[in-house]
């Protein structure tokens, strides 16, 4: 199984700490927390759990359709973006995949689950882990599927859609499907130059994956979706999708969430302000190298040789070690953007630990 952030219950048991006392910087969840309107919708949905969800998810798909401005027939649902990724892979059954490294581990897990082979394209630290033209050249005739996380997790690097279009052009020639994970793009207000939505009509070899649980701070109910305008691909995905994969509470929550424009706008403003604060504060700390963030998480490299995650857990602060990402090692860490009070606490403890070292 892939290792992820957000495992505060497991950490609490391991270190004999009350999980409620842990400040979780390991999971990239909206620091504003659950919207009041969404919480109300979830509570009211309790009365509906005695019957099955609508197996077609008509209202949910229409809600996503309006939000994304894409036909509901081009939307596939999943119990979180991870399930959407696995559904795509199990539907297409690629023999070989091309993955940047480092990147989100679920792409690798999905391909390995069907015994597919993986070619890794190693991103370079000296190039700020940026995708370059050699990545495009790596899309050979034997590559059936390519994954691009935009912005990339954990590096935070954003790839503009001009480069993405070059990838799609190349992939058309090699008959390769390109999956673009835009799970964090909603944290950017003006994301037109980064989203590939406008390319879906032109490039039928493209699938966009979105997660709703990060932005709306509801990872516990699990919901994500895929966008694709290729009828053949959509039919393959629909054949393997598990019926009733989205529960009624999750469906009602998302229908309400996507209409909560005030929460959406406040979240974008708040995360951007706290991202700037946290990035600036981290850059002032000696012995770490901070990579420029784009959304609600920041990666940095510790220039000293010790386990920073272990030191911070003693202070009841959990951060994400990146040592299990291909292309990174135990000197790399990722922290989520949290509230100002929590961000200040992290900075204060980091300064103490690094000063002592």
For 172-192, what is the HEC assignment? Answer: HHCCCEEEEECCCHHHCCCCC
Residue 302, CA distances (Å) to 17, 46, 179, 288, 357 in order: 25, 46, 32, 5, 12
Question: What's residue 12's pLDDT?
Answer: 87
β-bridge mates for residue 75, sequence order: 227
- For 196-211, b/e burial (b = at least 16 CB within 10 A) is bbebbeebbbbbbbbb
Q: What is the pTM of this model?
A: 0.95
Phi/psi-derived region of residue 5, left when phi > 0, alpha when psi is between -120 and 50, beta in every other case: beta
For residue range 92-107, what is the model confidence (pLDDT) as tens digits? 999 999 999 999 999 9
Pairing of strands 96-101, 145-149: parallel
Q: What is the DSSP string of 210-262?
A: EESTTTTT-TTT--EEEE---HHHHHHHHHHSPTT-S-HHHHHHHHHHTT-HH
> Which whole number is the average pLDDT over 166-194?
96
Range with lowest mean pLDDT among 10-19, 194-203, 346-355: 10-19
Mean pLDDT score of the chain: 95
Tell which residue, 287, 305, 239, has the closest CA to residue 93.
239
Tokens representing 175?
């008959």
Distance CA 119, CA 126 (A): 21
Distance separating alpha carbons of residues 25 and 6, to the nearest angstrom? 8
Residues 288-346 have pLDDT tens digits of 999 999 999 999 999 998 999 999 999 999 999 999 999 999 999 999 999 999 999 99
Which of 293, 328, 347, 349 is closest to 3 using CA atoms?
A: 328
At 10, the pLDDT band (50, 70, 90 cuts) reads: confident
Q: How many alpha carbons lie under 13 Å from residue 36 in its C-beta half-sphere?
A: 1
Contact 116, 278 (CB under 8 A): no
Q: Is 29 helix (H, G, I), strand (E, B) or coil?
A: coil
> Is the pLDDT confidence value at 1 over 60?
no
Q: With both helix axes pointing from N to C terminus, report the angle between 81-92 and 106-113 in degrees, rounded to the nearest 10.
A: 40
**Residue among 226, 251, 228 at smallest CA distance from 241:** 226
| DSSP secondary structure code for residue 199 in this structure | G
Q: What are phi and psi of 249, to 5 degrees?
A: -65, -45
What pLDDT, on a 0 to 100 scale, did the predictor assign at position 2?
Answer: 53
Compute the distance between CA of residue 36 and CA of residue 220 in angstroms, rounded to an integer. 16
Share of the chain above pLDDT 70, in %: 98
- Bridge-based pairing of strands 297-302 and 332-336 is antiparallel
Domains and CATH numbers, the chain: 8-33+262-356 (3.90.1150.10), 36-259 (3.40.640.10)
Q: Residue 19's pLDDT band (boundaries 50, 70, 90)? A: confident
Q: Would you say the C-alpha torsion 254, 260, 261, 265 has a positive or negative sign?
A: negative
The mean pLDDT value for 2-25 works out to 83
């Amino acid at each position: 199984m892939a290792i992820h952030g957000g495992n505060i219950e497991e950490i609490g048991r391991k270190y004999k700490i009350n999980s409620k006392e842990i400040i979780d910087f390991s999971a990239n969840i909206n620091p504003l927390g659950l919207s009041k309107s969404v919480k109300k919708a979830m509570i009211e949905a309790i009365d509906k759990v005695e019957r099955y969800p609508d197996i077609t998810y008509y209202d949910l798909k229409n809600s996503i359709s309006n939000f994304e401005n894409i036909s509901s027939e081009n939307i596939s649902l999943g119990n979180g973006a991870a399930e959407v990724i696995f559904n795509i892979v199990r539907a297409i059954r690629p023999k070989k995949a091309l993955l940047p490294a480092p990147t989100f581990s679920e792409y690798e897990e999905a391909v390995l689950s069907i015994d597919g082979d993986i070619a890794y394209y190693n991103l370079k630290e000296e190039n700020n882990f940026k995708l370059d033209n050699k990545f495009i050249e790596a899309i050979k005739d034997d590559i059936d599927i390519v994954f691009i996380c935009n912005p990339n997790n954990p590096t935070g690097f954003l790839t503009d859609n001009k480069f993405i279009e070059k990838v799609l052009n190349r992939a058309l020639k090699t008959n390769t499907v390109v999956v673009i994970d835009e799970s964090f793009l909603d944290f950017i207000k003006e994301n037109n130059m980064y989203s590939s939505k406008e390319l879906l009509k032109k490039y039928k070899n493209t699938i966009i994956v979105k997660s709703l649980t990060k932005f709306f701070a509801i990872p516990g109910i699990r919901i994500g979706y895929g966008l694709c305008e290729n009828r053949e691909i959509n039919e393959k995905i629909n054949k393997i999708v598990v019926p009733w994969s989205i529960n009624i509470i999750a469906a009602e929550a998302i229908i309400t969430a996507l209409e909560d424009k005030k929460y959406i706008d406040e979240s974008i403003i708040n995360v951007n302000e706290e991202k700037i604060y946290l990035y600036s504060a981290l850059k002032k700390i000696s012995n770490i190298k901070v990579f420029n963030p784009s959304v609600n998480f920041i990666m940095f490299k510790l220039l000293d040789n010790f386990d920073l995650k272990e030191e911070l857990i003693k202070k009841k602060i959990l951060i994400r070690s990146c040592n299990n990402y291909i292309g990174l090692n135990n000197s790399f860490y990722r922290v989520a953007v949290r509230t100002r009070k929590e961000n200040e606490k992290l900075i204060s403890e980091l300064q103490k630990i690094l000063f002592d070292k």
